[in-house]
Amino acid sequence: MSLSLLVASVLMGQSAFSLTLEVRPQDEVDVAYEELAAGKNEEAIAKLQRMGAAQSDDPAALINLGTAYARVGMAQQAMVNYKAAAASPERYDLELADGSWMDSRWAARKAMQGIASGQTLAVR
């Protein structure tokens, strides 16, 4: 199944910028984008945990859970989720805000690199 995502830059906290992705699947799935965009990271974690994001193969849910963990200072948990997204058997293209495209595995790898620089990646 091919899904596309739209990435928008969002200024968040001390980060230089955050990349956000908008998932437009056939059946819309809530991946806590609104909570992340509003800076409600603990709420995003709770929502994603309730839906079983950490046990899923959905890169969008895994990336967002990782992003929420990174934003509350839990870098190790963030890495676990980003690695799971990168290794997920589900794979699809992401459309960035500038119109370019990014593979979901590449997005997960980019999110892993962002932990050191304070940049986070979230999907809608």
CA atoms of 92 and 30, how far apart (whole Å): 17
Q: What is the per-residue pLDDT across 75-111, written as a single tens digit (0 to 9) for each?
A: 999 999 999 999 999 998 765 445 667 888 998 999 8
* Chain position carrying tokens 């500038």: 98
8 Å CB contact between 94 and 86: no
Instruction: Answer whether 0.85 is exceeded by the pTM.
Output: no
Q: What is the pLDDT of residue 3?
A: 37
First to last CA, the chain: 17
CA atoms within 13 A on the CB side of 123: 34
